[in-house]
A and B are shown apart, each in its own frame.
Chain A
Amino acid sequence: MIKALRTSSLGDILGIGLVLFIAVFSLILLIAPSIIVVIISFDTRAFVSFPPEGFTLRWYAEVFEQTELVGAMWTSLKVGLMVTALCIVLGVPTALACVRGKFRGTTALSVFVLVPHMVPGIVLGVAVLFAGALVGVSPSIWLQAVSIAVFIMAVMVRTVQSRLVRLDPALEEAATNLGASSFQSLRTITFPLLLPAILAGAVFTFVEGFDNLSVAIFTHGFRDRPLPVELLALVQYTSTPLVAAVSGVQILLAILALVAVSMSIGLDKVNE
């Protein structure tokens, strides 16, 4: 908070007023579409229109009657979990090596891990599809999960890294000096201290795995289409509030994820 600002001229007040006006407008802009979608999802009419005419839960019921949609949700759920698991197994040790490593090239390693995330998702997706075709690996739920994991791993590494940097290595040294093996000190000291960062990383990697389109659209299996691919088709070819209901479900999940993040590390730590 800034206190005690003086000498407010008219131009000053107008300028700051304009800045704050745009800020409030932007905040409304951020949330308004989601609110409108949720309202639409309860409309009784079979076409999308605003304002709604009545209240019904019909579209929510219909979401769970559509076998393709439910199948796509399961696929995305599986991909999300696979991506998260891969990112934890591969990313957390990498973060350890980047921060605690005593070898030359720790910086190079950190940069190398970031590279796939800097390549546009669509380029990575196309590249993986072509490479797979060349060696005879066709698109599947596995290919999708592995390529999204590679794409998003940087987020896990960076989240864990930023927490690890602030941990005092003396804590582990103390454990080792008291007779613990490296593995024991990692398990009983470092890992519990890193857990909030790993959890936060897990939330973001899961969301990416569940919801990635740019990589998934090229790498998903033809029998198990993930939710974003299914949704894209649905939005293009249907005009009922069904998609709004799917959105309603996703928005609910997003709120749950937000609560999870704010309970594990706190919202304000998210973008460190």
Chain B
Amino acid sequence: MSDATAFQPPPNARLGEVILDKLVSGRGIWPAVPAIIVLIVVAVVPFIILLSLGFSDIEVARGAIVSQTLSFSHLSNALSDPLYWITFQRSLVLAINTTLLCLLFGYPVAYLFLIGGKWTRRLILILTIAPLLTSGIVRTYAWLVILGGRGVVNSTLMSLGLIDQPLRIMNTHWAVLIGMVQIHLPVMILPLIAVMSRHEGGLMEASANLGASRLGTLRTVILPLSAPGIGTGAALVFTLSYTTFVVPQLLGGGNYLNAATMIYEQVVFSLEWSKGSVSSLILMATCLIVLVIIAMLTNIFTRWTKGRDA
């Protein structure tokens, strides 16, 4: 085999192979084109349509839109309707509380991961990832079993003689909050672990060698370094808990309306699509605002801790 032929493309390449070669050569944008087209058709265009429906009067018959005229009434109706204010406020408060509690319960787990040995780490990963692989409904159902009238909590309290009648925990906002926190906890823990394991070793030993206590090291070294993880985790937990309807629907009972359950009822049951569009848009806009605030807080927190060290 001579050198001259070795550097040539195979002479007997078929046309199909040549085209394939161009497509996958990995230098142009070509490999990404199918994905871009699908994203535009299935995400970008539908979103623009959602936006247009929010600002128009439409008539829906048999699952199809019959007529459409421009109107701002749905947005102004929504903004002047106390039901919307109550619902969105309730959803926001619930999601923020969920996020804070997930941080409170999740951060120590990530710290244990950081200082733990091989088996502790493996156990934490299994306990964190396994729930993510089971359905949210299944995990919510578990809370029905635990908090229900004849559930674990009530039967334990009753057999201990602490209460005579089952407590009514289900269908209260406490049930919803407990379910929310437990279900979204893994989503908080994973980014925290990811960020912390990036900085392990040297820094903390250095801090210890300089005489810092364990708590001091946690507060002054680990916490500031894990700020990006806190930001990511908080953003994920907030988005998920703000836009979920499984937990409120199952643990909150029929009267507990949050933003997502309201949209579901508007779109699927009462077929008020314009209202559904406006609610979806408000949901997304408020979600974005909170995400920006979380990002800013993370930034400030990171800079503040850096500034304090200097």
Contacts and interface: CB of A to CB of B under 8 A. Distances in A.
Interface of A: 1-9, 11-12, 15-16, 19-27, 29-31, 33-34, 36-37, 40, 47-51, 86, 89-91, 93-94, 96-98, 100-103, 105, 109, 112-113, 115-116, 118-124, 126-134, 136, 138-139, 146-147, 149-150, 153, 172, 177-179, 181-183, 186, 207, 211, 213-214, 217-218, 227-228, 231-232, 235-236, 243-244, 246-247, 250-251, 253-255, 257-258, 261, 267-268, 270-272
B133 to A, nearest CB: 4
Given A122-B280, A129-B267, A217-B264, 19 more contacts: A3-B208, A5-B214, A5-B217, A22-B105, A23-B112, A30-B128, A33-B145, A96-B31, A101-B32, A119-B43, A127-B47, A127-B50, A130-B53, A231-B135, A231-B137, A232-B250, A235-B140, A250-B138, A267-B122
B142 A247 contact: yes
B139 A33 contact: yes
Interface of B: 5-10, 13, 17, 20-21, 24-32, 34-36, 38-39, 42-43, 45-47, 49-50, 53, 60, 63-65, 104-106, 108-109, 111-112, 114-117, 121-146, 148, 150-152, 155, 182, 185-186, 189-191, 193-194, 197, 204-205, 208-209, 211-218, 239, 242-246, 249-250, 260, 263-264, 267-268, 273, 276-277, 280, 283-284, 287
Contact of B26 (A21, A101, A136, A236): A101
Contact of B138 (A131, A139, A149, A231): A231
A179 B32 contact: no
Contacts of A250: 134-135, 138
B209 A4 contact: yes
Interface centre among B128, B134, B244, by most chain A C-beta atoms within 10 angstroms, is B134
21 contacts: A2-B114, A2-B214, A4-B208, A5-B212, A19-B108, A31-B127, A34-B142, A48-B144, A91-B35, A97-B26, A103-B27, A120-B287, A134-B49, A182-B21, A232-B137, A232-B250, A235-B141, A247-B141, A250-B138, A251-B130, A270-B190
A122 B243 contact: yes
B145 A244 contact: yes
A19 to B, nearest CB: 5
Interface of A (DSSP majority class)? helix
Given A27-B124, A33-B142, A136 B108 contact: no
Nearest to B156: A50
A15 B216 CA distance: 10
B213 A123 contact: no
Nearest to A109: B32
Contacts of A228: 135-137
Contacts of A138: 63
Contacts of A115: 39, 43
A16 B215 contact: yes
B214 A271 contact: no
Contacts of A15: 214-215, 218
Contacts of A132: 46
Contact of A26 (B105, B150, B268): B105
Contacts of B111: 19-20, 23
A201 B26 CA distance: 20
Given A1-B115, A213-B136, A126 B267 contact: yes
Contacts of B211: 6-7
Contacts of B26: 96-97, 100-101, 172, 182, 186
Nearest to B191: A271
User: Across chains A and B, which 7 residue pairs bring their CB atoms closest together, nearest first?
Assistant: A33-B142, A93-B31, A254-B133, A131-B46, A120-B243, A23-B108, A127-B46
B243 A7 contact: no
Given A30-B186, A147-B42, A37 B138 contact: yes
Interface of B (DSSP majority class)? helix
Nearest to B197: A268
B144 A235 contact: yes
B190 to A, nearest CB: 4
B214 A247 contact: no
B218 A16 contact: yes
B205 A49 contact: no
B31 to A, nearest CB: 3
Contacts of A182: 21, 24-26
Contacts of A24: 112
B105 A254 contact: no
Contact of A235 (B17, B106, B245, B250): B250
A107 to B, nearest CB: 13
Contacts of A37: 138, 141-142, 145
Contacts of B13: 181
Contacts of B124: 27
A86 B143 CA distance: 34
Contact of B27 (A5, A100, A218): A100
B54 to A, nearest CB: 10
B63 A50 contact: no
Nearest to A151: B43
Contact of B242 (A120, A146, A149, A244): A120
B213 to A, nearest CB: 4
B71 to A, nearest CB: 16
A102 B155 CA distance: 65
Interface centre among A27, A113, A251, by most chain B C-beta atoms within 10 angstroms, is A27
